[in-house]
Every structure is written in structure tokens, then in C-alpha cells.
Amino acid sequence: MKNDEAKKRIDFLRKELEKHNQNYYVHNQPTISDFEYDILMSDLAHLEKLFPEFTDTSSPTQKVGSDRVKGFKQFPHEYQMLSLGNTYSTEELQDFFARTEKLTGIFPEFVCELKFDGTSISLIYENGILTKALTRGDGTIGDDVISNIRTINSIPKKVVANNLPDKFIIRGEVIMTREVFSRLNNEKEANGEQPFANPRNAAAGTLKTLDSSVVASRQLQCFLYFLLGENLPSNNHFENLKTAKLWGFNVSEHIKLCKLQDEIFNFINYWDTARHKLPFDIDGVVLKVNSLSQQQELGFTAKSPRWAIAYKYKAEQARTKLVSISFQVGRTGIITPVANLEPVLLAGTTVKRATLHNAGQIQLLDIRLGDTVVVEKGGEIIPKIVSVDISERSQNSKVFQFIGNCPECGTKLIREESEAGIFCPNPNCPPQIKGKIEHFISRKAMNIDGLGEETVALLYQKGLVKSAADIYKLKKEQLIQLERFADKSAENILAGIEKSKETPFRKVLFALGIRFVGETVAQKLATYFKNIDALIQCKSEDLVNVDEVGEKIAGSVIAFFQNPENITLINELKTSGIQFAENTENQVLYPPLLKDKSIVVTGSFDRPYDRKKLEELVLNYNGKLVKSVSKNTAFIVAGQKPGPDKIEKAQKLNIKVISSNEFLKIIDLL
């Protein structure tokens, strides 16, 4: 696959996944299955690994989908609430075992648990009293739904026990039983209302209901599965769960401590069949490293813990008819065919559509209109088309012809040699223009409150916005003429637009959407060049001096600023008051005391200089924070219960191991 094709495919996948995150987490109305979603995510992760120059910290592979909604107070998670990595393959599971064994030095104990198909919750207890109940949110900030959580009888409002920590957090899954789900949907259909798709959606939608009496009537349940905080009862996960059960929490009886791979696979195989006898849905098994010290040593990726994984059960299949194929145009012009199916029930979900990805897949499967197709879904939801039953094909069927012109603007489509993707080359094609604007206003970029995909589409349709610069020309009298807009909503959007003018230069640079320039690279460029004019005038040799900027990124930056349309956009944004220079007035300048030093931080530390703060200090003082010990490591900062492998390797390589106080002396903080 060529770079251009890879970039187009990556951009398409990111936009698709963002849309499905919104449908799943916020609207509780997924349009694709977990399995199909996981395929898209896996495809994106694979491409990002093959083409690291397209790395972007705002990619769905690097963050948690957000379920935050208006109507609830929001609070930060003391410990990030990340999502689990998952697999459907025993081979990938064995790869996970090998990685954990390599990083910890031994095959660790694992706790096997059922993967409940519900919605996650984080309960905060202070002095034994339930004080907050936060949804996952975006992993960093969640909605406080405590008034709804208090209606769930299986969740204690007060805990009384010996040696109870002053404060602790316990996390779990809010679920709805199949019996309650069936009753609720019967009531909805009798009232002429849209039924819920499955118990998971019903539980998530109920938990976000603003009327607690409605929540109480739906008899939600909650299983708790993870204890967090200081001074926990034990340094291992299994014992903490047993203690939580003694405290009165609803911890599942179906958990098992496993020391051997065979024990783990026996647990997985047993529940693949036995799950159907449960009164609620599960879609797999979760494996967690038992030792909290080993968990800390293994750490996290941007969105998942390295010490846990979800094994999802094998896909289910169904047969249905292919009614038609429609086409979607992505932000970069890539054309994606979508299969429209006769509705078919598959594992409790009605499947109507499946993404066909590209013309190559249609050709590979020889998919034709009217065909009987086999659709497959894993993780208990929607499908991909895996095969065609040719024996049922009509004699009059014809080979499907991919469209030749863009369905949005009519431009002749292009397919470059050796590329799977077919795309629209017209930069003025509406979806491409709207996509650039959507990126500009996104949370990681200008973060303009009140503006979203639908509003951008409406503004574009009415001719009010044709570029990001047009956003800053909007007037209240224009907005209130639009459908669904009143004085208050118009004022809110204008206030959000005005506030975005305070967005720092590094985020503005990211918002411009320069190819290959993700959030991290944008920050490094902004710090190095200080202002947009210096960046516009720089040469390739200047750019490659910046950390993490190679020739490919440098070439992309140069090309972006050589385009007159981009310079016009920047000048218009400047006129609107956008920040195109770093504000150094309130910036703390740290001396480069750790420049070119690779430093490992391991173990746990007491506040105020806990592990996270120490890692920040390494970066602030120009050091390189690394996870593993090598001959290039300058020294190790070790706290309580450091990773034994790291200490052993440091001793072999004669690398100095120091305390946090010794480290603080090095950077003159003690």
C-alpha cells in the first residue's frame, strides 16, 4: 500500500470510528456491531503501525470514546478510566501472555472474570459514604450520575467495615437482565415507542435518564470488579475483590485465579457455552494480571492497560439478502461502499447495514445485488459480509459496477495504480470541506462549544461557512434564522467561537490539519519556532532539527505553506484574532538539567511527588522518559515495590538506582 492510499484509509477509518463512538457512547444507538467496530479499529491500528508518520494523538486508537452528556455535573477521574484491548483469537491471547511474561520476567497470575455487556461506572466512597458515581466519560472526565446509581439496590450507599480506607474507588458494570429488558421493550412497543436494540443500550440509556424514578423502575443491577486507591487491603486484585465482597459489594462469584494458561483457556471455553444460561448478557472474558505491582510495572498505552485484555467470543453468523449498495465520501475524498441488507436478527441485534470498505472487497467476494450473503458478528453485535451463497444467485444477476463519479459532487473518481481506494480528487467536494472544518473545531483542536458535525453541515448548506475562517465571521442574526436555533443557542455558539480565540498556538497549529502533524508534533513545532511566520519561512533542514520531525513530516509542512489557499486561510484567521504565536508570559521555563538523559521511573511514590509528577519533571527538565532499562539509561528513579526486572537489569548494566529525594536534588528541588 502506498503512503497516499494509507493516509486516505487512515483518515477515513478515524472519521468512521469517531462517528460510531458518538453513536455508541452518547446516543446509545450503535449502528454497527462490536465486532465490526473492532475490525475497523484493528485495521486503523495496523495501518498506524505500518505508517508511523501518520501518528496522531487524537486518533481513536489513542483515546477513549466519550459518553458525556449535558444535564449532569462532570468531575475528573482520579485514575483514568480507560478501555480494554480485546481479541477474538487464542493466538493473540498467547501473544499477550508472552508480552506480559517478557516485561515482568515471569508468567504472572491472572484473574479471569466475565465481561459484562453493560455500561461502566466508577463509584467514589469517602469515609464509607458513596459521594460520587462517574460514568466513563472520555476516560479523564465523567458524568456524575449518583442520583440514578442510588436507585440500584445492589450498590451500597454506606460501607461499614474494619480497616476501611478513608477514600477508595470501586468500578464495575451496570447491567439490565434479559427479563427486565424484554418487559421494558414490550412496554415501549405497546406505547408506540422505539424499542432498545439490546440490554446494553437499555442499561446505558437508563443510566443517563434525568428522572431517577424512571431509573428505579427499570431494576438495574451492578457487578463490581476493580478496587482503586491508597492503602488497599491487599497488593493483589483477587484478594481485593474478595474483601470488597465482604464489604457488601456485588462481586461476581464467577471469578477464578489462574496460574497456568490451561486454567485460563478452560475458563474461557466453559463460559463460551455456559454464558447462555446466565440471566444477563456477557460477550467474553476479561483477564487481569493479579499483582498490583506488576500492573503498575506493565503500565498503560494511550487508551488501554497493558496488564489486562478482553477475550471476546467467536463470531455468530446469519444469512440475509443484499438489497443495495450506497456510497459515502470521506473527509479525504475516499469513497466507501456500504451494503444495505434485509434486516436480520443476529445475537439480539437487528442488522441492516455493513461497511464493504472498498471496491476490492466487492470484487474479491463477487458481491452482487440480490445475493444471499453470510454476515458475521463477534462480540454480540453487527456484521461484516464474509461470503456469498452463489447457489442461490439469480441467473440474471450482473457483476456489480462501482460508481464512476462522486455521489456528492459528480467529479470523475480516480483510482491510482496498485491502490485499493477510489477517491474524489475535487478539493471543493462538500464532505472534504466539511471534514476539514470539523477537524478544526474538534476538542483536541479549537474545541468550540456548540459546534458539531450536524451544525457544520447546516452552516455549510446555508452557505454561511465554506472554510474554518468563516466561523469567525458568523453573526447572531444569521444563526437565529436557522432551524433549531434560538437566541440562547446562537449566543452559546458565538461565545464558544469567541473563547476559541484564546486557544494556544500549538493547538491552532494542530487545528490547521497539516498532513502528518498530529497533536504532539504540533506542540513541538510551536515550541521550537514560537510563531507561525517563522514556521512559514523555515526550510526543510530547519524542520528536521525539531524532535520527532523527519523528512516526511518536514516535506508535508513545507508543501502546506506553499499552497496559497492555506496562506489565505491563515491570514484570515489572524485577522479574526487567532493565536499564531506562543504566549511565553506565564510559561515556566525549566533549565535543561536532564538534557539527553534517558530515565526510568519505577514503583510507587508518596505525594506530592507521586509517579506521575516525577515523570512530568523528567520531561520538563528536558529528559527522555523511557519504560525499559538499557545500556543508554542514565539512571533509575525507584520507589516502593519497583519492577524487579528493571532493578536486576540495572545491577547487571551497572546503572545507578536513586530515590525520589535524590532525583529532586539533581533538579534542584531539594
| Residue 444 main-chain phi, psi, to 5 deg | -75, -15
Whether the link from the prior residue into 383 is cis, omega within 30° of 0, is: no
Q: E strands within 518-650?
A: 598-602, 624-625, 633-638
Rounded distance, CA 484 to CA 479, Å?
Answer: 10
Measure the N-to-C terminal CA separation of the chain; round to a whole number of Å: 54
Q: Which own/partner contact pairs does 24-29 have at CB distance under 8 Å and 24+ positions apart?
A: 24/65, 25/65, 25/66, 25/67, 25/136, 26/66, 26/67, 26/68, 26/69, 28/196, 28/201, 28/204, 28/205, 28/208, 29/197, 29/201
Burial class (CB in 10 A: 0-12, 13-18, 19+), 129: exposed
User: For residue 79, is it left (φ>0), alpha (ψ between -120 and 50) or beta?
Assistant: beta
Rounded distance, CA 67 to CA 524, Å?
Answer: 30
Rounded distance, CA 241 to CA 113, Å?
Answer: 11
DSSP summary character for residue 275? G
CA angle, 434 then 437 then 443, to 5°: 125
Grid cell listed for 403? 460508481
Burial class (CB in 10 A: 0-12, 13-18, 19+), 136: buried
Rounded distance, CA 250 to CA 158, Å?
Answer: 14
Q: Which residues contact 102 (CB under 8 A, 6 or more apart)?
A: none
Q: Which residues are catalytic?
A: 115
Residue of 238, 208, 248, 225 whose CA lies nearest to 169 = 225
Q: Which is it for strands 119-126 and 129-135: parallel, antiparallel or unpaired?
A: antiparallel
Residue 445 carries which side chain, given as an amino acid letter?
A
Rounded distance, CA 656 to CA 5, Å?
Answer: 47
| Residue tagged 484570515 (cell numbers) | 572
CA angle, 209 then 215 then 218, to 5°: 130
Q: Can you state the percent helix, strand and coil of the chain, rounding each to 5?
A: 40, 20, 40
Q: State the DSSP string of 344-370.
A: EEETTEEEEEEE--SHHHHHHHT--TT
CA-CA-CA-CA torsion for 632, 634, 635, 636, nearest 10 degrees?
A: -50
Angle between helices 564-575 and 551-562 in degrees, nearest 10: 70
Rounded distance, CA 325 to CA 353, Å?
Answer: 9
Are the C-beta atoms of residues 388 and 376 closer than 8 Å to each other? no
Rounded distance, CA 569 to CA 581, Å?
Answer: 16
Angle between helices 3-21 and 34-50 in degrees, nearest 10: 150
Q: E strands within 330-449?
A: 335-346, 349-355, 372-377, 384-388
